[in-house]
Structure 1
């Protein structure tokens, strides 16, 4: 089973307002509700590609119930810890002459709640996979990812898509895949990466520190994968116009995982990951299977 972890999921309320005016009544022209959070995005793309996953994390209140029910209808299993205080956050994303975001706080996760999550991950079995995505909320301990992975006793594959310090702290667990972007990779070593050779060199440093496969995304320049055999693969992006980059990185992670599970081939995994990331970037909302297939043919 594949498990995704989203510590602070959300309902994303995305609205279009023509010429927003502060202090006035404004009416929406379009509105959409999405089930948000990086790990949840991964679960949704995996479902599009035919892979079942279980979403872990914390939910609370009526918004948490809506998120849980919605994911289950989309074919994503859920096993959230239900928190008593607060509610699952609503993030308002307004598109007008300028884009504005108002992000909610999320529930108040206690030590007892976190212990409940640790109990769930301790029950993972040999051959499972766990995907940790996104940042840790300020209300939780900075070493929460480390504690989650430390609670796993089975032989599982670990995937982490997080920023600098979070990523570096978990390399001792020998993750199957990490996915920094090229800027984050440079920040980790306090260097500027000017060439593909630079990126490959520092990706291999992350391997020396414990990572098995390092997938470096480079926005419009595509991606570079250094696989666990030391081989480097570079691939461009699909053809299209970027509409919305939210969820593109998560889609790439999901596609890579699905591609590797399909064929046990890293080049194919990178190609499917690229197709998923590009398809999401070129459309409003997360990509569909048809959109992914269309991009895949162009790579």
Structure 2
């Protein structure tokens, strides 16, 4: 966002000062909103959210603020059930739609397709390479990792399990765990003594993951450097009180959900003694 032009000598000094202050506040709000929308779009990719074409045009592709983020992502048209990726496209600076070869295409305006942000697991290698080169040519930096995002798969023998145990017993800091709040996780409810003993992540279709920690985080006495031991990542159906009910085999989860769970845990366990400045924004929530 560009700055306001400097006031002229003929401009009202008081009005100019108020306009400058208001513009500064608007810039601050725009940065905050943009950061929130980046997380929202990344979550939409990971949870495989789909939009009707008219909603995509009205609320994303032509939105005064969001269009600047939309133009830096690869988008896909999907079958009406949202499962099958039909084609990929991008949104240009003038609001047109092009394929990986930068050729203009028409986006269906009816309900014959759905629109979504393809995950790296769904992108064909040829499409990923072509759009990656196209974005490089236009000097477009993606707002989050999409093309080339690290992906993960279950190991042999894990598909029938109801929990991921690769990191069980690993030591991490409370600060590192709080970074999960930027990745779609939320803290569990405070239990006896005001302690939080788990983090939870909705996986869609009524499923949820739960990561147990010990000794837990005491509400109001959080110490970011405190060491926590992580348990297995349990998966199951969401119960009445937002807790796990019936367990679910890992192999029954969508491949994207599995990949993102593993990615989250690799992130946490790779940062045993560090956490980012962004993580500190969640301190007040504990």
Do these two structures clear the TM 0.5 threshold for a shared fold by scoring above it?
A: no
Structure with greater Cα Rg? 2
Interval of TM-score (by shorter of Structure 1 and Structure 2) = under 0.3
Q: TM-score by structure 2 length?
A: 0.28
Q: TM-score by structure 1 length?
A: 0.27
For CA contacts below 8 A with separation 6 or more, give which structure has more relative contact order: 2
